[in-house]
Amino acid sequence: MNVEDLIEQQITTHPVVLYMKGTLDQPQCGFSANAVNILKACGVDSIFSVDVLADPGIRQGIKDFSNWPTIPQLYVNGEFIGGSDIVTEMYQSGELQKLFEN
Residue 80's domain comprises 3-99
Looking at the structure of the chain, the number of domains it has is 1
pLDDT score of 102 more than 80:
no
Read off the CATH number of the domain in which 77 is found.
3.40.30.10
pLDDT tens by residue, 27-85: 999 999 999 999 999 999 899 999 999 999 999 999 999 999 999 999 999 999 999 99
What pTM did the predictor assign? 0.96
Average pLDDT over residues 87-97: 97
**What are φ and ψ of residue 46, in 5° steps?**
-110, 100
- Known binding residue 29? Answer is yes
pLDDT on residue 93: 97
CB count, 10 Å around CB of 81? 20
Beta bridge partners of residue 19, listed in sequence order? 50, 73
